Amino acid sequence: MSPDEVASASPATLNKLLLHQPFIGGFREPTDEDFNLFRKRFSSGPPPDPQSLPNLARWFRHLCSLRAPTSSMTVDAESESKMSPEDKKALITRNLQEVLGEDRVNEVLKTRDLKIYWGTATTGKPHVAYFVAMSKIADFLSAGCEVTVLFADLHAYLDNMKAPWDLLKLRTEYYEQVLCPPSLFFHFVESSPLSIGR
């Protein structure tokens, strides 16, 4: 579809397009086409209905997690950019029992921010213990790190084969809603597409 066709397409047409690709502009990551469509048609008003437009609703949630920060977040981003590598490291490592590869962390922080990868199996509802991980992830984000959360849905399935894939998909969506801060630097991925073809 051309950009003009995308801009005027009905929600049902967009939902159909997104059945076979994660983004309007392609497969790897959102493009300007995705962000322009989101800004023009979806940045205000109700989100797409996940029952009748599941693919468009998934796209919408993903774009929400990547959209431009609010003014209150901009203040945090400005203060983060003024942090020295030492200050960032102190925030990244605080309240950790052990830090592996500390020399590498120091080396990377001299040139760029860290990329953090954290995973959890979606075996049940998030509980109070998740506050420990979320408070640490908040430190990472405050220090300017890019955080990717892996939802280990395949692990959850293999761990407890009583749960069907449909339930695991719903659990993963629930986790995303519960754990999702609005940030340009916080992403979610599922393990099953990376591990197997369904």
Q: Is residue 101 a contact partner of residue 109, using CB atoms and an 8 Å limit?
A: no
Q: Is residue 198 a contact partner of residue 165, using CB atoms and an 8 Å limit?
A: yes
Q: State the residue for tokens 């408070």.
A: 135
Q: Please give the model's pTM, rounded to 2 decimal places.
A: 0.53
What's the pLDDT tens digit per position in 153-177? 777 777 766 677 788 788 888 887 7
Tell me the three-class secondary structure of 93-127, residue by residue: HCCCCCCCCHHHHHHHHCCCCCEEEEEECCCCCCC
Side-chain half-sphere exposure of 87, counting CA atoms within 13 A = 9
Q: Is residue 107's pLDDT more than 90?
A: yes
Q: Is residue 191's pLDDT more than 70?
A: no
CA distance 168 to 155: 10
Residue from 98, 96, 88, 80 nearest 133 by CA: 96
What's the pLDDT tens digit per position in 48-77? 888 899 889 888 877 776 644 333 333 344
Q: How buried is 185 (Cβ within 10 angstroms: 0-12 exposed, 13-18 middle, 19+ buried)?
A: buried
Q: Which domains does the chain have, with CATH numbers?
A: 1-67 (no CATH), 72-198 (3.40.50.620)
Give the least confident one: 28-32, 74-78, 116-120, 184-188.
Answer: 74-78
CA distance 38 to 23: 11
